[in-house]
Amino acid sequence: MSEIVSITAEARERAGKGAARSTRRTGRVPAVIYGNKESPVTISLDPKEVDTAIAKRGFFARPLDIKLGGKPHRVLPRDVQRDPVTDKPLHLDFMRVGAGTRIRVEVPVQFVRDDLSPGLKRGGVLNVVRRQIELYCTVDTIPEKLEVSLEGLDIGDSVHISKVTLPQGVKPTIARDFTIASIAVPSAAKAAAEEARAAAEAAAAGGAVEGAAPAEGAAPAAGAAPAAGTAPAAGGKAPAGGAPAAGGKAPAAAPAAGGGGKKKG
């Protein structure tokens, strides 16, 4: 069970936003206690005690004893309103709980025995799926934390809630055997494997294109020169100045230089 911290409180006569602002001007933090079929009680707290309690891990899963006029109130923190600029607590809500009250509470997870994980030793990365686990239990059986062992986990392995030892009477609110964490492949190795696979695929595709022969009877690509000695197609014209096509007339001879004069006499 979590250690119970005690906080001393003072009663506030009035409730509401105006009364809360007035309390903050005096240097104290306004709060309210409700639940367990009793009337709500408005109180104010010392900001130093509030900061000390909030700084402890698992604040919302830790029972508190708020002493008001010499009478302790066993409560659980339910909400903390903070200043958006300074992040200082502006108002706290506490739920009054009895010894046998069953509640839902989120408990932080702590991973242990990481030095006994073969996957982490080989450079694997711990992929945390759940840093907190919601439990259904009584206020007297709230565990301070849940220890999750990484012993024996290799790359690709995962640890589930069924492998975690819970206190008697404590159950997770989720019925299925959910994953808490896994050991993933290192990012660098994963990137290198992807690059190698992409290079192999590109090389295979390039080899297929380079070695491919044109289909039989296919026309040459546009602009490609015909092979040496290849006859022009049937009915095609011979190139300028070339040999006449089969059965064709020879081209007229070009006039000799200066042969453009008139006949004599």
- CATH value at residue 37: 2.40.240.10
Please name the residue that has the structure tokens 């006859």: 231
* Pairing, β 132-138 against β 125-128: unpaired
The answer to the question of residue 76 being in a domain is yes
Distance between CA atoms of 74 and 66, rounded to whole angstroms? 7
Structural domain total, the chain = 2
Dist CA 101 CA 12 (whole Å): 27
Reported in sequence order, the residue ranges of 28-164 that DSSP labels E, i.e. its strands, are 29-35, 38-45, 64-68, 71-82, 89-96, 102-112, 125-128, 132-138, 146-149, 158-160
The model's pTM is: 0.59
65-124: pLDDT as tens digits: 999 988 889 999 999 999 999 999 999 999 998 877 888 999 999 999 999 999 999 999
Torsion of CA 191, 196, 199, 201, to 10 degrees: -110
The 8-class DSSP code of residue 68 comes to E
pLDDT value, residue 210: 54
Same domain, 111 and 71: no
108 shares a domain with 88? no
In a domain, 237, yes or no: no
- Residue 195 falls inside a structural domain: no
Q: What percent of the chain has pLDDT over 90?
A: 49
Owning domain of residue 19: 5-98
- Out of 141, 171, 188, a domain closes at 188
Residue where a domain terminates, one of 140, 166, 188: 188
Distance CA 248, CA 246 (A): 6
> Is residue 81 domain-shared with residue 113, that is, in the same domain?
no
- Residue 260 domain flag: no
pLDDT tens for each residue of 180-206 = 999 998 865 555 556 677 777 777 777
Are 73 and 113 in the same domain? no
- Residue 118 and residue 79 share a domain: no
Of 188, 209, 242, which residue constitutes the final position of a domain?
188
Strand partners for 190: none
What pLDDT score does 195 carry?
A: 66
In a domain, 203, yes or no: no
Indicate which CATH number applies to the domain containing 140.
Answer: 2.170.120.20
Q: Mark whether 10 and 91 lie in a shared domain.
A: yes
pLDDT over 70 at 216, yes or no: no
